[in-house]
Amino acid sequence: MNDSADMFGDTPPEDERDDTQPSAEELEEAGQSALFEPEALPWKQDDEPAKAAPEPVPAKEPEQDMTAPERALTAPESDTAVAVSEVAQPYRVLARKYRPQTFSELIGQDAMVRTLANAIERDRLAHAFLMTGVRGVGKTSTARLIAKALNCIGPDGQGGPTIDPCGKCEPCIAIAEGRHIDVIEMDAASHTGVDDVREIIEAVRYAAVSARYKIYIIDEVHMLSRNAFNALLKTLEEPPAHVKFLFATTEVDKLPVTVLSRTQRFDLRRIPTPMLQQHFASICRQERVEAEDEALAMVAAAAEGSVRDGLSILDQAIAHADLNEGGTVTAERVRDMLGLSDKTAQRALFGAVLEGDAKALLDAIARQYSLGVEPLALLRGAMDLTHKITVAQVGGSAEDAPTLEERQAIEEWAGRLSAAQLHRLWQLLLKGYDEVRQAPDPLVATQMALLRVMHASNMPDPGQLARTLQDMATNGIAVAPAPSGDAVASGAPSATAPVAVQAPPVHWQDLVDQVEHSGQLRAWQMMRDWVRVISLKSGELIFTLAPGMPDDPTGLLREALFQATGERWQVERGEGEGSPSLREVKEAEKAAEERKIREAPLVMAAFEAFPGAQLVDESDTLKSDTKWSRSA
């Protein structure tokens, strides 16, 4: 029915129409503005003759071919304000707001982007991709970007797959908003069973509705059950030409080998700390937030290579900033938020350890603990300084130090400490870190651990000490002790120069044991049973033989001593009795012990009661086959 017809459906004549009533077009044109400006309605103009009548606005043709962002850009200001008010959303965290929308915005993954670009350009696209890496490096974002790149049609609707999706066509916008019907995103953590995979298997048979490819993005794919993986294998190996699979996981070692062999794998790297710092600085500029370089460096270091973790920390740091300071993100605020110790305090504590000042060390620990610094953070700071000093010692400079003061301190310590001291310091700090983490009282454990490190830093290097002792044993050189106070007071000359002393004595038993341990068993048996030592000192042996040995073992002994000690020995057979051999000494001791036992009153009484009794050794009894009688 016509809007201007009467109740019977007839159209009134032209001269009978009431021009004062608004038409349907005027009502539609007034639309939303009637809610805010009632005086702008055309039928209200007669009530206000003082105001000029508005010019009639021509009706606009519907722009059906334009996308939502284009309509918002071409709309009048009033319509744009209404549209913005209608789509206004609550605050989005930085990690979502700055999610990469193009491959050029994906930082730190140049190798993967180059591989994908070449594959698209040469039309060598795999049917399944696997993105793996630590949290927050862009696995899911990369999967969505690949979906965009494969389904982009360009602003004119005639484009093909490209590594630089336009972001303006309907597929790009729909994928970015997560509403594209042919891009199915599934969370494997909540869809782990065979039934979920069966739905995918049944759906891949049908062609894409509006896109070039039907794409399945499966996040945390390692959470699928074993049966679900087995059910997916055949489809994953030979999917239809219009289907692409994109997998993302943080634990690639949990995926079956049969799945890995059917996918093209990309290992996304951790983002370097300097690159993260630059990225966060760019975001702060876009957010119109002032941030100190040192504060951004702390945030980047705490992120541990994860962009999402870093943006979450940065979001918290911006909220933590003091409004009285203009909202600037300062290093002091970030340090307080993360529970980190001040760099100056870290260097003071580290210096107290190296100087051996126990009181200053305990005061520094107590001061940092009172400021809210965790005990583990103290040890972590000392370990970080040790690492920086070691790297500076190898590289020659500490260029990555954020401040000039820290750079000078690190370079000074790098020149003063040896590599062995730094490695020993690292091992002690690492052991202390594990102890503090498991201790019931972390503060006490930190104090004891750092005191142990302090005392150990004054100890000589084990390798150097061993070499010094070896030189002393070889050359017979030792440094005289410092003079006492009485000697200095009396004016006696101080003995600061090295003086010659006698070499440590060589024991025959130790020398025989060395020969045994070196494997010279024939020489060892000869030295133990037959050699009687006349004179023995370092590098020289004069001996004679016990009665009953006709051969001369001089050459055998000389070679055995060289193999055992690594030194050439002067071995001669001399004249005289010499000291008894080791076997003779042992036999004499055994005879003396047996005589002492026989002289004991109880044993003498036993022999008187049993005239035929024998005194035997327990070890000899175990080795003997003698049958003993129980009869008296």
SS3 for 75-120, per residue? CCHHHHHHHHHHHCCCCCCHHHHCCCCCHHHCCCCHHHHHHHHHHH
Which residue type is seen at 126?
A: A
Which pLDDT score, from 0 to 100, does residue 81 have? 43
Note the pTM of the prediction, 2 decimals. 0.54
3-state class of 597 per DSSP?
Answer: helix
Whether residue 130 is predicted with pLDDT greater than 70 in this model: the reply is yes
Between residues 601 and 257, the one the model is more confident about = 257
Lowest average pLDDT, out of 56-60, 342-346, 577-581, goes to 56-60
Which pLDDT score, from 0 to 100, does residue 420 have? 82
Number of helical (H) and strand (E) elements in the chain, helices listed first = 28, 10
Residue 476: which pLDDT band, with cuts at 50, 70 and 90?
A: low
Rounded-to-integer distance, Cα 103 and Cα 114, Å = 10
For the segment 605-610, the average pLDDT, to the nearest whole number, is: 80
Rounded-to-integer distance, Cα 358 and Cα 356, Å = 6
Rounded-to-integer distance, Cα 423 and Cα 279, Å = 34
Question: What count of Cα atoms within 13 Å lies in the side-chain half-sphere of residue 503?
Answer: 13
Which pLDDT score, from 0 to 100, does residue 228 have? 93
Most confident of the ranges 88-92, 223-227, 563-567: 223-227
For the segment 160-186, the average pLDDT, to the nearest whole number, is: 91
Q: How many CB atoms lie within 10 A of CB 300?
A: 25
Contacts of 300 (CB under 8 A, 6+ apart): 273, 274, 276, 277, 280, 310
Provide, rounded to the nearest whole percent, the portion of the chain with pLDDT above 90: 30
Whether residue 215 is predicted with pLDDT greater than 60 in this model: the reply is yes
Q: Do 197 and 224 contact (CB within 8 A), yes or no?
A: yes
Which pLDDT score, from 0 to 100, does residue 256 have? 92
Q: Do 197 and 232 contact (CB within 8 A), yes or no?
A: yes
For the segment 373-385, the average pLDDT, to the nearest whole number, is: 89
Whether residue 444 is predicted with pLDDT greater than 90 in this model: the reply is yes
Q: What is the dihedral of CA 110, 112, 114, 118, to 10 degrees?
A: 180
Which pLDDT score, from 0 to 100, does residue 374 have? 86
Phi and psi at 343, nearest 5°, equal -60, -40
Whether residue 214 is predicted with pLDDT greater than 90 in this model: the reply is yes
Q: How many CB atoms lie within 10 A of CB 539?
A: 14
For the segment 446-475, the average pLDDT, to the nearest whole number, is: 75
Provide, rounded to the nearest whole percent, the portion of the chain with pLDDT above 70: 73
Question: H-helix or E-strand containing 532?
Answer: strand 531-537
Whether residue 490 is predicted with pLDDT greater than 70 in this model: the reply is no
pLDDT digits (tens, 9 = 90+) for 132-162: 999 899 999 999 999 999 999 999 888 889 9
Rounded-to-integer distance, Cα 401 and Cα 62, Å = 61
Tokens of 250: 């943080």
Whether residue 351 is predicted with pLDDT greater than 80 in this model: the reply is yes
Which pLDDT score, from 0 to 100, does residue 82 have? 43
Position of tokens 């983490």?
A: 437
Query: Which of 448, 472, 516, 92 shows the shortest CA–CA distance to 480?
Result: 472
> Which strand ranges, in their side-by-side order, compose the sheet holding 128-132?
183-187, 214-219, 243-249, 128-132, 264-267
Rounded-to-integer distance, Cα 245 and Cα 206, Å = 15
pLDDT digits (tens, 9 = 90+) for 512-535: 888 888 888 888 888 888 888 888
114: left (phi over 0), alpha (psi -120 to 50) or beta: alpha
Which pLDDT score, from 0 to 100, does residue 461 have? 64
3-state class of 500 per DSSP?
Answer: strand
Q: Do 270 and 309 contact (CB within 8 A), yes or no?
A: no
For the segment 44-64, the average pLDDT, to the nearest whole number, is: 44
Contacts of 446 (CB under 8 A, 6+ apart): 365, 375, 376, 378, 379, 432, 436
Position of tokens 């001061």?
A: 367
Rounded-to-integer distance, Cα 93 and Cα 96, Å = 6
Average pLDDT, the chain: 78
Contacts of 438 (CB under 8 A, 6+ apart): none
3-state class of 218 per DSSP?
Answer: strand
Whether residue 249 is predicted with pLDDT greater than 90 in this model: the reply is yes
Whether residue 302 is predicted with pLDDT greater than 90 in this model: the reply is no
Where b means 16+ CB within 10 Å and e means fewer, 95-120 reads beebbbbebeebbbbeebbeebeebb
Rounded-to-integer distance, Cα 93 and Cα 369, Å = 32
Position of tokens 């994928």?
A: 175
Contacts of 494 (CB under 8 A, 6+ apart): 482, 483, 487, 488
3-state class of 477 per DSSP?
Answer: strand
Q: Distances in Å between the alpha carbon of 564 and those of 471, 523, 571?
A: 18, 11, 14
Tokens of 135: 């949290």
Whether residue 620 is predicted with pLDDT greater than 50 in this model: the reply is yes
Angle between helices 554-565 and 508-517 (to 10 degrees): 80
Beta-ladder partners of 244: 215
Whether residue 489 is predicted with pLDDT greater than 80 in this model: the reply is no
Taken in order of first residue, the domains within the chain and their CATH numbers are 94-267 (3.40.50.300), 273-337 (1.10.8.60), 341-462 (1.20.272.10), 508-583 (3.30.300)
Q: How many CB atoms lie within 10 A of CB 393?
A: 20
Residue 218: which pLDDT band, with cuts at 50, 70 and 90?
A: very high
Tokens of 212: 């070039």
